[in-house]
Structure 1
């Protein structure tokens, strides 16, 4: 298997929100930078990461992946590199090509050294200091790219061995100081220990000290959420701790399933969206060793999304709906990839409720639909929407509604969105199998 994630070696308890507050260093004033616990572009526009990882170092020929990742709405790609410690080193010219591909496809590029994975427990893993040596080696191709690049110093740099995990804070601080001393002005991203999952709370508890070691205040903390994060309370507790401390956090990796447990991807994505935190899913394609289910695109084919790919791109709080392109590329929001060519702007004001449909995104043999339910000129307490597919389509997954049926579909409100004030609206979404319908005319009724 290309990507190894060890199981957490201890039971997880409910996390308590941190209460520490500290003076933050002055932030960097050029390129991507951190300010007051958030990530901003050079022009002051906040940037929220929505992306996926691409295993470039093992699949250097799969350069079309950048275009494929962008085609489904991502604004960021996390690129796996090697410093030669465990795999073939990616040369400076190769990294320059990667940066060019990111920019050509209007993607912010998070570059990471993967050879540090599980140091202290994985025999072949290298220390963070070796990763820093590599960044200094290729510094010339990264200089001047601060608007486009985040430097993820080392992937999951410590395993579960308590003796080495204890070194996470001083070693990470030393890595930051070396890079800053050498002139790196980029936003730095530091991964948690415990194979990225921080079940020991080492990163959480020592984050203020590590953040203070960066004289530019331009460091983001990255937690990887797999089996340790199977309960909503664990996810929200961890995020609370960083938000209460005013420290920047990104979910640098997560999946919908894993060998060490079943992560709660729905809560991860919903809470990240609610709080304005970034997330990056693992991974675009090329997984092996029994975790092939973590592939988002079968065989690196952007038109062949797996169930996981459909979920992260087009499910609730997914990338397609929530990602905004970086302003440095002229972004500020991605257009609807398949807008309704003839929306009805004037629902019948006398009806109890009306419903309208739009196709949010589509791929080979699948699509994402969204239905907007609008109350008429009086408040309603419940609603039911019905429609018929005429092309053999069916609904395979839905959110914000209870959906049943095959070609004839019935969708009813759930507990929290049935009551609508006069003229108010709510939406629900679904993943459909088959080709996206050219048009759909749902009917809405109450009672």
Structure 2
């Protein structure tokens, strides 16, 4: 077993352990559970229906302004749950009772199961400033008014990665004491407990002591969480760890996982396949906003569901992914519920802003008796189709298309119960020709007055074939905000600028050029962008 001292990314792949032969049943001989509960190693919801977590982590405590939209976007992409990062106030700004109540309300409004975790415990004993599980319990008691009565919708994850590699042997007693205090304080929720060793449990401390910790819970309502990163880089390691819980009928969750990590390359295919085979749930890390060298773990760029990263495409749309395997909790009317009526098909899409490598699709909205929650765009290949993107809007920007090629796309609608509409009629478009590498040049001339500037941009085709339809991409040096543009449509995202042609500037003949301009405000530091690409091909600078 590999040992690592590198921090896990903070994500939680939640997995509810199961057996393959024992069906989930509701409680009969005892009083009904108030909410989620564990039975025979399975996580059941308040209706006694088996529930498998399929969701994503969201860093609410660092990006609170994004949370409302993020929850809606995750639901539209097919998730049935969200693990939400909270702070006790010891390392980051505290998420108080009112804020936690708003998060819970947002989960419920989007028919998501809310897994709430206290992040300040990360790496306790090794990470400077990290707090103990006991201090995390103090926080849960402080925000109890936002949680009690929400047992049908909320799982409480006591503390993220509550021990590093130093002093991890204390995990068992610390976790037992935390569970005992929560129950004594009247928490009837399912409690989730993370493994030590930065969540990866390479020492098997949680694996070996899980029976004693589970028995210490008077409600027998604790779920175990392992975070799978570099330690789990083979299918054999993934399967052995998860099966060790399943065969003992102990509920386990894979707290965090990604497609890559600084401590090694986790086998995400094996993790997702094992979760599907064993009937276990997962929550991938993480929606967006990663930093500190693990930006590659973002599932979406800039919290934008229309800009899924390769990792996001894999998790949501790949084999054993969220779209394929997620089922809504029955407490929201999902699996085992009554809503089986699909939405109507969306209207026929329209393609605009077609360039060599991209296009904009828009379509008339679908209708549904309980409300449409999102749309899935697919590319058609004869009688087959592949997923392209998902969105809550009635439009999507497509990128990465092949130049001078005919493409066909169609759209599906989804409702809150996961029902999918019939497919829309198809739209067919032909992408423009694109420049070959090294066959374009850009001149960028500044008129700078300190607090702002105008830029005159000339794009020259130095090749032998016309460019029909173009997009010029470049990054401003920083602190500039585009106010207006002429002879091109200009969109800014952070420092990145995307300029696309107007109808009268669409074609750049061989040896010819087009010209456009933009006006921007500035906080200083104006200069010429370092690089330019035209329809994805790098251009020389004049």
TM-score (norm 2): 0.60
> Which residue in the other structure is 1:17 paired with?
none
Contact 1:75 1:323 survives alignment (8 Å): yes
Matches within 5 A, 1:85-96: 85-96=90-101
1:438 aligns with 2:443: no
The structure carrying a bigger strand percent of its residues is 2
Counterparts of 1:360-371 in structure 2, within 5 Å, are 362-363=389-390, 364=396
Matches for 1:7-406 after TM superposition, within 5 Å:
29-62=33-66, 63-161=68-166, 164-332=167-335, 356-358=383-385, 362-363=389-390, 364=396, 390-391=406-407
Q: How far apart are the structure 1 equivalents of 2:265 and 2:425?
A: 34
Contact kept in structure 2, 1:119 and 1:157, CA below 8 Å: yes
Distance 1:330 1:44 in 2: 13
Could you tell me how far apart the structure 1 residues matched to 2:257 and 2:341 are? Answer: 26
Runs of 5+ unmatched residues, structure 2: 9-29, 348-381, 391-395, 400-404, 410-423, 429-542
Q: Secondary structure at the match of 1:207?
A: helix
What does the per-residue CA deviation read over 1:45-86, in whole Å, with 9 as the maximum and x for residues that have no partner?
Answer: 100000010000000111211111111000000000000111
1:58 is paired with a residue whose SS is: coil
Q: Output the CA distance in 1 between the equivalents of 2:317 and 2:293.
A: 25
Give how far 1:438 is off: 2.4
Cα 1:99/1:129, change in 2 over 3 Å? same
- Residue aligned with 1:209, SS: helix
Work out which of the two has the higher radius of gyration on C-alpha atoms and give 1 or 2: 2
Relative contact order: is structure 1 or structure 2 higher (C-alpha 8 Å, sep ≥ 6)? 1
Aligned residue number for residue 352 of structure 1: none
Secondary structure, aligned partner of 1:57: coil
The residue number in structure 1 matching 2:368 is none
SS at match of 1:310: helix
Q: In the alignment, is the contact (CA less than 8 A) between 1:74 and 1:323 conserved in 2?
A: yes
User: In the superposition, relative to structure 1, how do residues 337 and 357 fare at CA in structure 2: closer, same or farther (>3 Å)?
Assistant: farther
Asked if structure 1 preserves the Cα contact closer than 8 Å seen for 2:299 and 2:311, the reply is yes
Cα gap change, 1:76 to 1:207, in 2 (>3 Å) = same
User: 1:308-339 CA distances to partner (integer Å, 9 max, x unpaired)?
Assistant: 11000000100011000011111118998997
Report the alpha carbon displacement of residue 390 of structure 1 after superposing the two structures with TM. Answer: 3.4
Q: Distance in 2 between matches of 1:46 and 1:148?
A: 14
| Closer/same/farther in 2, CA of residues 335 and 242 from structure 1, 3 Å limit | farther
Deviation at 1:6, TM superposition (A): 1.8
Task: Output the CA distance in 2 between the equivalents of 1:83 and 1:177.
Answer: 20
Q: CA RMSD in A?
A: 2.7
Q: Distance in 2 between matches of 1:300 and 1:131?
A: 28
1:340–1:358 CA contact under 8 A, matched in 2: no
Paired residues in the alignment total: 343
- Cα distance between partner residues in 2 of 1:266 and 1:47: 22
Deviation at 1:239, TM superposition (A): 0.7
Match of 2:115, SS state, is strand
Q: 1:359 to 1:202 in 2, by over 3 A?
A: same
Contact 2:195/2:206, CA 8 A, preserved across alignment: yes
**Do the aligned residues in 2 keep the contact of 1:27 with 1:35 (CA within 8 Å)?**
no
Contact 1:338 1:360 in 2 (8 A): no
After superposition, what is the alpha-carbon deviation per residue over 1:110-156, rounded to whole angstroms, capped at 9, x for unaligned?
Answer: 00000000000001100000000000001111111000000000000
- Distance in 1 (CA, whole Å) between partners of 2:311 and 2:344 is 21
Partners in 2 of 1:257 and 1:206 — Cα distance? Answer: 29
Task: Rate the CA distance shift 1:438–1:5 in 2: closer, same or farther, 3 A.
Answer: farther
- 2:408–2:426 contact (8 Å) kept in structure 1: no
Q: Tell me the CA shift for residue 217 of structure 1.
A: 0.6
The 1-side partners of 2:236 and 2:342 are apart by: 34
Q: TM-score, normalised by structure 1?
A: 0.72
- How far apart, CA to CA, are the structure 2 residues paired with 1:171 and 1:217? 17
CA distance in 2: counterparts of 1:104 and 1:257, whole angstroms: 33
